[in-house]
Structure 1
Amino acid sequence: MTHVVLNQVLAIFLLTAFGFVLKKINLLNDGFTKSSSDLIVYVTLPAMIINSMDREFSKDVATTSLQVFLTGAIMYGFTILLAILLVRFRKYEETQRGVYMYMVIFGNVGYLGYPIMNVLYGEIGVFYSAVFNIWFNILTWTIGVSIMARGRLNFRRILINPGLLSTLFGLFIFLTPLRLPTLVKSVLDSVGSMTTPLAMFLVGAFLAEAHLKDFVAEIDLYLASILKLVVAPALVYLVMSYTDLPTIVKVLPVVMAGMPSGVNTAIFARMFDKDYKLAAQGVVLSTALSMISLPVLILMVVR
């Protein structure tokens, strides 16, 4: 089982390497990052989420979903605590403080989280990931905006964003007798299956645009990355190991805790006039390091 899972996870990272090479030889142009990001966020990922939730209601699945949702509070509790400790013991400029906090709190639970859980557990893994990521959709537009913009909340974005809307619609289908027509489900399945290769190509292209020399002097970027990729999942793992929950409920928050810093770090930094260059470097560095840490983490938690 472990050998099969590892091969599947490594296949995902080979897609990232493929995207890296394609960008380096200019088969992926400069517009690819923007267009593919929009396509994933607004089309393929919502299709994957809705398709995974189009299933007959099950009390066991509903109970597990609630357990998965509650574990999100544990994970984000730890990442928020680590972010607070980081900026308290390391004195950063005002334009950098929010960037480092956001890096540690919010991981790439979308582009990387969904594909990896899909590989590990199939459609049900995507289902539970969508429930778990309700936390991200709410917290990123509350706490995330607050630490970057000092209180400039956007409540419209909290309620109206593709990830949350597709999850709520999927839950509505799951909780009611309604079912998607066979043709619609087939289309959603085809469109949703594009998410993993597109997302991995995007990550590869993002890495290809970076310059190694930019990271050499930024020791704090390595510190933030270690907190995000190693310390956070280790803390979540310690807590989950003492619970008597289903395996997927234990694994999901640990894997999500070990995701590299999310691309929203750079997007929000630019939006709120913070250190965008530092944010972009942090996303790329943590993503590159996750190529090593994530397979190791998955081998540790998946049996």
Structure 2
Amino acid sequence: MIEQMFVLFILMAIGIICRKTGLMNDAVSKGMSGIVVNIASPAFIISAGINKDEVVSNKQLLACILAAFFIYWGLILIAVVLPYILKIKKKYYGTYRVMTIFSNIGFMGFPIVSATYGSVGLLYAAFFQFPFNLLIYTYGVSAMKNGANEEDSGSFSWKNIINVGVISVFISIIFYLGRIHVAKPIEDVVTSISGLTVPMSMMVIGYALGGMKIKDLMSDFKLLLFAALKLLVIPVIGVFILKIFIKDPILLGVCFVMIATPVGSMTAMLAQYYGGDEETASRGVALTTLLSVVTIPLVGAVCL
């Protein structure tokens, strides 16, 4: 895992360099994000379902679904009390709650899982995609509106939940459980496109980090305390609890990555759209992403 985080760190550094040298700008970064979200990452997920080398039993898949369910409920409970512990202003409760629950499972979680645990791990990780999307467009939106203008600036839509990411999860599961044969050229195309996910997503994250000042990130004591809870305390406690119930080392490792990844970039977007603390959300994404390069392998070495 340390080796894989080092690779991801180098890719993020390339993104920072591209920003500083002008090889990437906001338009290029946005375009790359669109490719990752709508093309590369779905192919990444589908590739796990068409892999015929590894077999996961129905019992193991059920265990994964149950693990995802209880992890998200646990994070919601933690998110309810965390703002009180940090003594955050009431109007920003929602921002911290959303940052607590929703991690960067797509841009960082999937690449780490794929590199560390292979196609079986990626199949497990895909099961976290649906509850993530379901919750972020229901609980996430509701929480972010807390203390903000109550005028609805956007409405709930099933289109936000049943999106290309969730559809790719269903396709992957259908291909896997049905053992559906895929022609070799099609499989090669999916595999090739999925290979774009890791480098492009890490470069986009690096580009975003390149626009942040380290001094500003390190000057917010409450945000630093939040980062410590998010990246160290919650993953350590979470893994020790999960160890009691999960004996499959790959599933346990995937659950750890899903918990230990930094704040998801979607939190900043929701904060901007629904009147949350956009500045804190953006800094929270940047700070936890930067620190996760160290905390993920560190906590993994201690807990797994």
TM-score of the superposition, structure 2-length normalised?
0.90
- Unaligned runs of 5+ residues in structure 1 are none
Can you list the C-alpha shifts for 1:183-206, whole angstroms capped at 9, x where unaligned?
A: 111111000011000111111111
Cα RMSD over matched residues? 2.1
Quote how far apart the aligned CAs of 1:261 are.
Answer: 0.3
Unpaired stretches in structure 2, ≥5 consecutive residues = none
Cα offset, 1:57, TM superposition? 11
- Indicate the SS of the match to 1:286: helix
Aligned pairs, number: 298
- 2:46 is matched with 50
Q: Which moved more, 1:34-43 or 1:219-228?
A: 219-228
Q: CA shift at 1:62, angstroms?
A: 2.7
Deviations 1:148-186 (A, max 9, x none): 135966241454212111101111222225322221111
Matches within 5 A, 1:37-186: 37-55=33-51, 60-149=56-145, 154-186=156-188
Deviation of 1:116 (Å): 0.2
Q: Which moved more, 1:121-130 or 1:131-140?
A: 131-140
Among 31, 35, 42, the alignment partner of 2:31 is 35
Q: Distance in 2 between matches of 1:78 and 1:226?
A: 18
Q: SS of the counterpart of 1:16? A: helix
Give identity over the alignment, percent: 29
Q: Do the aligned partners of 2:83 and 2:97 also contact (CA within 8 Å) in 1?
A: yes
CA distance in structure 1 between the partners assigned to 2:199 and 2:95 by the alignment:
28
Call closer, same or farther: CA 1:179–1:94 in 2, change over 3 Å. Answer: farther
**Paired residues for 1:246-285 under 5 Å:** 246-285=248-287
In the alignment, which residue of structure 2 is the partner of 1:235?
A: 237
For residues 137 and 57 of structure 1, do their structure 2 counterparts lie closer, same or farther at Cα, with a shift above 3 Å needed? farther
Q: CA deviation at 1:71?
A: 1.0
Q: Aligned to 2:104, what secondary structure does the other structure show? A: coil
1:25 to 12, 16, 21: 21
Shift of 1:246: 0.9
Note if 1:8 corresponds to 2:10: no
Please state how far the C-alpha of 1:91 moved relative to its aligned partner: 4.2
Say whether 1:207 aligns with 2:203. Answer: no
**Equivalent residue letter for 2:175:** I
Residue number in structure 1 paired with 2:189 = 187
- How far apart in 1 are the matches of 2:11 and 2:164? 25
Instruction: After superposing the two structures, state which structure 1 stretch, 114-123 or 132-141, moved more.
Output: 132-141
Q: Secondary structure at the match of 1:76?
A: helix
CA distance in 1, matches of 2:162, 2:111: 23
Contact 2:236/2:303 (<8 A) preserved: no
